[in-house]
């Protein structure tokens, strides 16, 4: 038997046919009878293989008293096969688009009243979460609160943002309790996400293009299973609920980028240790303090806020006192009210 190295199966050439091709390539002008002797296969199988290779443009027949075979240039022949496969793939893609359009038309039939599909377990929920983002054309809306079925770093989001899909997320205060949460949010904000924070969210949810949504079946066991909602009035209701809670939520701002030799933004890190507070002018809070105001409004405790900002609770309290002075407030409630009146949150 010929040594079969099945490296051409991807372009539709079997291991046996590739063996015959390699024999022809190694011996230009070889006859079918010689190939039969080398392969120890029947003349019919060898002749069928040569016919298939000829149809794919891999070999040519040299006419004469005793027909002989020669290989065509491998690079040219294989590239031609690849181009043919790409054409077929393009046709399949067009067919998929047409079938998808038909699928959506059927799935959104008002007479059906929408569809509900149970997603059993976190693995299936995670797959659908990724799929919904991949299918999004305009917007992804999220109620974000733990526990999570995926690593909380959503690497797909930045890619879809670059492609023009808008992301809006409302975060519950629990979303900021794990270390590094604010840093991860910073990455999403710089990529283009619109984020707000709210002390309480009723449930987890992701809603795509106001036509598909995923939410847990139970808030007591959010990882036990979820429901996928398609083309239903329930999706419309969820979109309306998101809009109302978005208006109530407090915007979260990205951390201001540090510039070499540039002063800290107003209300930023300057004076964090309390030095020079007496001489500091009262100014509007900068981006860093607006982030702090958002976390305060979400109801996070001092220890949790200090952990997110990478400082100690003691330093945070000094910073809060100075921020309250700038806002002419004595309590967190007054600080939130003043910030709201000034349009800072």
264 inside domain: no
- Residue of higher predicted confidence among 169 and 233: 169
DSSP for 65-94, please give it.
SS-EEEEPPHHHHHHHHHHHHHHHHHHHHH
Phi, psi of 312 (to 5 degrees): -90, 155
Residues 102 and 156 in one domain: no
Q: Encode 30-41: b = buried (16+ Cβ within 10 Å), e = exposed.
A: bebebbbebbeb
Average pLDDT, integer, range 43-64: 86
Strand partners, 229: 116, 213
Between strands 139-144 and 166-172, the pairing is parallel
Confidence label for 282 from pLDDT (cuts 50, 70 and 90)? very low
- The rounded distance, in Å, linking the Cα atoms of 300 and 281 is 28
What torsion do the CA atoms of 46, 49, 54, 56 make, to the nearest 10 degrees? -170
What's the full length of the chain, in residues? 345
Q: Is 31 helix (H, G, I), strand (E, B) or coil?
A: strand
pLDDT at 206: 94
Residues 128 and 236 in one domain: yes
240 inside domain: yes
pLDDT at 339: 61
Question: Tokens representing 288?
Answer: 């860093």
Residues 230 and 294 in one domain: no
Confidence label for 280 from pLDDT (cuts 50, 70 and 90)? very low
Q: Which contacts qualify for 100-107: CB closer than 8 Å, 24 or more apart? A: 107/230, 107/231
**End-of-domain residue from the set 234, 251, 268:** 251
- Residue of higher predicted confidence among 257 and 314: 314
**End-of-domain residue from the set 216, 251, 286:** 251
Residues 102 and 140 in one domain: no
Residues 92 and 169 in one domain: no
- Residue of higher predicted confidence among 71 and 232: 71
Average pLDDT, integer, range 164-177: 89
CATH assignment of the domain containing 84 = 1.10.10.10
28 inside domain: yes
Residues 102 and 120 in one domain: no
pLDDT at 114: 57
- The rounded distance, in Å, linking the Cα atoms of 325 and 335 is 9
Average pLDDT, integer, range 277-289: 50
Residues 84 and 9 in one domain: yes
Residues 59 and 136 in one domain: no
Report angle CA 17, 19, 22 to the nearest 5 degrees: 110
Domain tally for the chain? 3
Average pLDDT, integer, range 76-105: 73
Statement: residue 256 has pLDDT above 70: no
Average pLDDT, integer, range 253-270: 46
- Residue of higher predicted confidence among 315 and 153: 315
Statement: residue 328 has pLDDT above 80: no
pLDDT at 105: 56
- The rounded distance, in Å, linking the Cα atoms of 42 and 232 is 63
pLDDT at 139: 96
Q: Cis ω on the peptide bond leading into residue 59 (within 30° of 0)?
A: no
- Maximum mean pLDDT: which of 16-25, 97-106, 222-231, 332-341: 16-25
Hey, how many other C-beta atoms are within 10 angstroms of the C-beta on 160? Answer: 19
Nearest Cα to Cα of residue 201 among 244, 240, 144, 162: 144
Statement: residue 109 has pLDDT above 70: no
pLDDT at 163: 94
The H or E element spanning position 203 is none
17 inside domain: yes
pLDDT at 78: 86
Question: Tokens representing 231?
Answer: 């083309």
Which residue range is the domain that position 165 belongs to? Answer: 114-251
pLDDT at 161: 94
Contact present, 322 and 271 (Cβ < 8 Å): yes
pLDDT at 75: 84
- Maximum mean pLDDT: which of 3-7, 86-90, 135-139, 246-250: 135-139
The model's pTM is 0.53
Contact present, 11 and 53 (Cβ < 8 Å): no
Average pLDDT, integer, range 80-107: 70
Phi, psi of 30 (to 5 degrees): -70, 150
Statement: residue 315 has pLDDT above 70: yes
Residues 119 and 216 in one domain: yes
CATH assignment of the domain containing 241 = 3.30.870.10
Confidence label for 150 from pLDDT (cuts 50, 70 and 90)? low
- Residue of higher predicted confidence among 177 and 210: 210
Statement: residue 34 has pLDDT above 70: yes
Residues 131 and 240 in one domain: yes
Confidence label for 99 from pLDDT (cuts 50, 70 and 90)? low
257 inside domain: no
- The rounded distance, in Å, linking the Cα atoms of 305 and 301 is 6
Statement: residue 24 has pLDDT above 70: yes
Residue with tokens 């449930």: 203
80 inside domain: yes
Question: Tokens representing 345?
Answer: 């949150």
**End-of-domain residue from the set 191, 216, 251:** 251
With 0-12 / 13-18 / 19 or more C-beta atoms within 10 angstroms meaning exposed / middle / buried, residue 142 is buried
Statement: residue 323 has pLDDT above 70: yes
């Amino acid at each position: 038997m010929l040594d079969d190295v099945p490296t051409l199966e991807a372009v539709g050439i079997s291991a046996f046919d590739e063996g015959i091709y390699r024999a022809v390539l190694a011996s230009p002008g070889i006859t079918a009878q010689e190939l039969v002797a080398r392969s120890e296969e029947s003349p019919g199988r060898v002749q069928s293989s040569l016919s298939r290779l000829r149809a794919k443009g891999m070999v040519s027949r040299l006419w004469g008293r005793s027909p002989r075979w020669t290989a065509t240039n491998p690079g040219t022949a294989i590239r031609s096969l690849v181009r043919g496969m790409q054409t077929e793939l393009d046709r399949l893609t067009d067919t998929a688009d047409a079938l998808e359009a038909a699928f959506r038309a059927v799935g959104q039939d008002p007479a059906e009243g929408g569809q509900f599909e149970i997603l059993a377990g976190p693995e299936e929920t995670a797959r659908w979460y990724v799929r919904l983002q991949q299918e999004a054309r305009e917007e992804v809306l999220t109620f974000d609160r733990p526990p999570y079925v995926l690593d909380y770093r959503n690497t797909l989001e930045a890619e879809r943002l670059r492609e023009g899909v808008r992301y809006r997320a409302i975060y519950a205060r629990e979303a900021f309790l794990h270390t590094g949460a604010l840093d991860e949010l910073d990455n999403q904000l710089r990529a283009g996400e619109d984020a707000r924070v709210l002390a309480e969210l009723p449930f987890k949810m992701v809603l795509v293009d106001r036509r598909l949504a995923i939410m847990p079946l139970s808030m007591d066991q959010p990882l036990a299973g979820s429901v996928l909602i398609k083309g239903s009035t329930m999706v419309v209701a969820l979109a309306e609920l998101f809009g109302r809670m978005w208006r109530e939520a407090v915007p979260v701002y990205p951390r201001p980028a540090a510039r070499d030799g540039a002063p800290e933004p107003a209300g930023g890190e300057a004076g964090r240790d309390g030095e020079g507070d007496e001489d500091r002018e009262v100014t509007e809070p900068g981006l860093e303090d607006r982030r702090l105001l958002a976390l305060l409004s979400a109801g996070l405790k001092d220890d949790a806020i200090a952990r997110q900002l990478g400082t100690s609770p003691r330093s945070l309290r000094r910073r809060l006192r100075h921020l309250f002075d700038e806002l002419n407030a004595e309590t967190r409630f007054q600080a939130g009210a003043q910030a709201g009146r000034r349009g800072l949150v």
